[in-house]
Chains A and B, each alone.
Chain A
């Protein structure tokens, strides 16, 4: 058996993944509060990770103006 493969199948949509896992709408609704909290945390971390120079750039632009 190979140690790795390259998957060429189309990526499932998130709805298709949820359907495949039998995740109900009721479950999603019940998890909404937890999810909102995680999304807030994720947004903060993503901004920090993907745009590390942005605050500096903003500061320079502000001082140039």
Chain B
């Protein structure tokens, strides 16, 4: 049996593509502003046993968010739907079924009823809808992962704007323009956490 999960850790199961970049930053900022710790598969080094490492990461997190909004078929005939996200959702569902007190998973989508078309086996699951916007992600995170004295959505949005404005400096510092690079992820987390320390959530609450 693995050790108990970190009660503030959230496994973030998201697509790593350009169209998702604004929502990605919103997830990181939103979670850290709610005093939650995001974890991603980008933290995992490559190797043959990648799947078992991903499963361990899910097991170490009390919550997981599975954003299926980009599970789609591309325009080109050679394009295929992304299956990593549904695969990792399946792992979380299985883990939660075996140990209900250890894990809670959430499915996020960009629009209502889309999930019924892409994964009808999940009918009956309450889906969190972000409408494909950073504001939607922040608002829905605050609703889904409630805790006492959360910052307001406009205040989270302020921190999001600030962190977003620092992206070019972060890219320059890390010698990459890949938003999903592990170093960039750590910089985004560090800045967002530090801004929270500078202005605690309890004081931000209105």
**Hey, which chain B residues are within 8 Å of A21, CB to CB?**
37, 186, 189-190, 193
A-B contact count (CB 8 A): 112
**Hey, which chain B residues are within 8 Å of A8, CB to CB?**
147
Contact with B along A38-60 (1 / 0, CB 8 A): 11011001100110000000000
A8→B146 CA distance, assembly (Å):
9
For the complex, is B159 an interface residue (Cβ under 8 Å from A)? Answer: yes
A18-B190 contact given A5-B144, A12-B37, A30-B173, CB 8 Å threshold = yes
Chain B residue at smallest Cβ distance from A11: B35
User: Which residues between 63 and 122 of chain B lie within 8 Å of chain A, taking CB atoms?
Assistant: 63, 96, 104-107
Chain A residue at smallest Cβ distance from B155: A49
For the complex, is B54 an interface residue (Cβ under 8 Å from A)? Answer: no
| Interface residue stretch chosen among B18-26, B45-53, B124-132 | B124-132
Asked if residues B191 and A34 are in contact (CB atoms below 8 Å), the reply is yes
Partner among B144, B154, B196 whose Cβ is within 8 Å of the Cβ of A3? B144
For the complex, is A7 an interface residue (Cβ under 8 Å from B)? Answer: yes
Asked if residues B127 and A3 are in contact (CB atoms below 8 Å), the reply is yes
Asked if residues B191 and A38 are in contact (CB atoms below 8 Å), the reply is yes
Partner among B62, B162, B170, B206 whose Cβ is within 8 Å of the Cβ of A41? B162
Asked if residues A7 and B37 are in contact (CB atoms below 8 Å), the reply is no
A7-B162 contact given A1-B107, A17-B193, A31-B190, CB 8 Å threshold = no
Which 5 residue pairs are nearest across A and B when measured between Cβ atoms?
A: A9-B7, A3-B126, A14-B197, A7-B147, A11-B35
Interface residues of A (CB under 8 A from B): 1-12, 14, 17-18, 20-23, 27-28, 30-31, 34-35, 37-39, 41-42, 45-46, 49-50
Instruction: Please list 29 pairs of residues, one from A and one from B, whose beta carbons are closer than 8 Å in the complex, sorted by A's number.
Output: A1-B106, A1-B107, A3-B143, A4-B143, A5-B63, A5-B144, A5-B146, A7-B7, A8-B147, A11-B201, A12-B8, A17-B37, A17-B193, A18-B190, A21-B186, A21-B189, A21-B190, A21-B193, A27-B187, A27-B190, A34-B170, A34-B173, A35-B191, A37-B166, A38-B162, A38-B166, A38-B195, A42-B158, A49-B154
